[in-house]
Structure 1
Amino acid sequence: MRIIKLDAIDSTNTYLKKLSGGGNAEDGLTVVTSLQTNGRGQMGTVWSSQEAKNLTFSVFKDASFLNIKQHFYISMAVSLAVYEAVKSLGITKIKVKWPNDILSDDKKIAGILIENVIKLNVISGSVIGIGLNVNQTDFTGLPAASSLLLLSGHVNDLDEVLTIVLKQIDIHFNYLKEKQFKILKARYESHLFRKNKPSTFKDAEGSIFSGYIVGISDFGQLMVKIEDNIIRSFDFKEVVLLY
């Protein structure tokens, strides 16, 4: 496994996508930086991180064995990988907030941005960007954020945490290669934040409604039971969970 360490970069995902586009990214190639100046999250959000306090990295994984319709299983696998990694570091009360934020005690500790490389309607590879709050303690203006240090009271070595996360990604990509989709989906849903609890949502038009998360579809849509026991499905750009 090759790891490229950079002092600073605008975005590790952007850097790795350029490498993969030029055919210079082998399976497992990882780019990690101490300072990411333009980190990106889902739906164009910004991922902000204090220098040398957290993990900001991207890893390239071969996903050519997957059908393009199975793309969300990559998100499931990576979410579960980060879940297991932080659990092994003594963190408790961990949940996956759809589609792939990692929470502990209802506070966000990790964000994941997956950008698949698609050629001729086939997923040739996946650029997986992960921001994990490790040793940062000041989250002024971000009341819903936390870190491994704040949650556990322990300072963690960033390289050691990186190794643990990358090992879990390999383990969970093996589930993908072995077509263990039902196992991945069941485990993902078992850790889903607010599942089967009364919750409030906002749709793309700005309307507020109540419902219960009952699971996800095979295509990664959020399944919400609303009034009259009707189940609606939403893509991640179509609904926001308010909590």
Structure 2
Amino acid sequence: MHIIKLNAIDSTNSYLKELSSKQAVENFTVVWAENQTNGRGQRGSNWEVESGKNLTFSVLIKDVLQNFEEVFNLNVIVAVSIFQTLTELKIPEISIKWANDILSEKKKICGVLIENQFKSSSEILSVIGIGINVNQENFINLPQASSIKNITHKDWSKDEILIAFLKKFQININRYKNEGSEYFWEVYHENLFKINIPSAFEDKNGDKFMGIIRKVLSNGLLQIELEDDSLQLFDIKEVKMLY
């Protein structure tokens, strides 16, 4: 595993994608930035962090996914790996919020953005961007965000968390290659935030409704049971949970 540590950069995902387009890059190459000035999250949002306080890094993965149908499996493996890492570090009440946010005590402490490139050789190259709020204490206008420090009331070593995750992730990638995805989907669903609990949602038109998360499909769509007992599928940009 090759780790490239940078002081400041616009986006670790962009840096790693550009690097891989210019030269051969070793599998599991990691780009870690102390300050990311233009980090990106799901739904096209920016990922704002205080310099030096948090973990912002990207990991390049290749020779893992074999076809387009497997793409969301990687989201599940990443989310489960972060969940397991933070649980083993005894961060309390960790859960996975669809699609792959990580919560502690119902507050978001980690976000993931995976960008896949489909090569002409049929190879799928994935750049996994991960932001973990570690020692940041103030989240202005972000009432649903928190950090590991705010949750545990102590400072944490970013190096310790990064190395723990990378070890867990490599183990899980090897397990996936040897055994498939079933185990990871089980862990994902067992720890999915608000699964089987009546919850409030808002659709892309701003309309609010009640529903119950029943499962996430292999393509990443969220299955919600509505009040009339019908089942409806939503993409990540089509619905958000209100909590």
What does residue 181 of structure 2 align with? 181
Call closer, same or farther: CA 1:30–1:74 in 2, change over 3 Å: same
- Higher deviation after alignment, 39-48 or 138-147: 138-147
SS in 1 for 2:47: coil
Offset at 1:175?
A: 2.8
Aligned residue pair count = 243
**Distance of 1:214 and 1:68 partners within structure 2:** 24
- Over the matched positions of the two proteins, sequence identity in percent amounts to 42
Call closer, same or farther: CA 1:108–1:121 in 2, change over 3 Å: farther
Residue 91 of structure 1 aligns with an amino acid whose one-letter code is I
Q: Cα deviation per residue 1:57-103 (whole Å; 9 max; x = unaligned)?
A: 00101144432111000000000111111112211111111001000
What does residue 240 of structure 1 align with? 240
What does residue 81 of structure 2 align with? 81
**Distance of 2:121 and 2:2 partners within structure 1:** 28
> What does 1:26-175 align with in structure 2 at a 5 Å threshold?
26-120=26-120, 122-175=122-175
**Distance of 2:47 and 2:62 partners within structure 1:** 25
- Structure 2 spans left out of the alignment, 5+ residues: none
Could you tell me whether the CA contact under 8 Å between 1:175 and 1:184 is conserved in 2?
A: no
Structure 1 consecutive aligned stretches of length 4 or more whose deviation exceeds 4 Å: none
**Distance of 2:45 and 2:176 partners within structure 1:** 28
TM-score (norm 1): 0.95
- Structure 1 spans left out of the alignment, 5+ residues: none
SS in 2 for 1:178: helix
Question: Are 2:203 and 1:203 equivalent residues in the alignment?
Answer: yes
TM-score (norm 2): 0.95
Offset at 1:169?
A: 1.4
- Higher deviation after alignment, 229-238 or 188-197: 229-238
SS in 2 for 1:53: coil
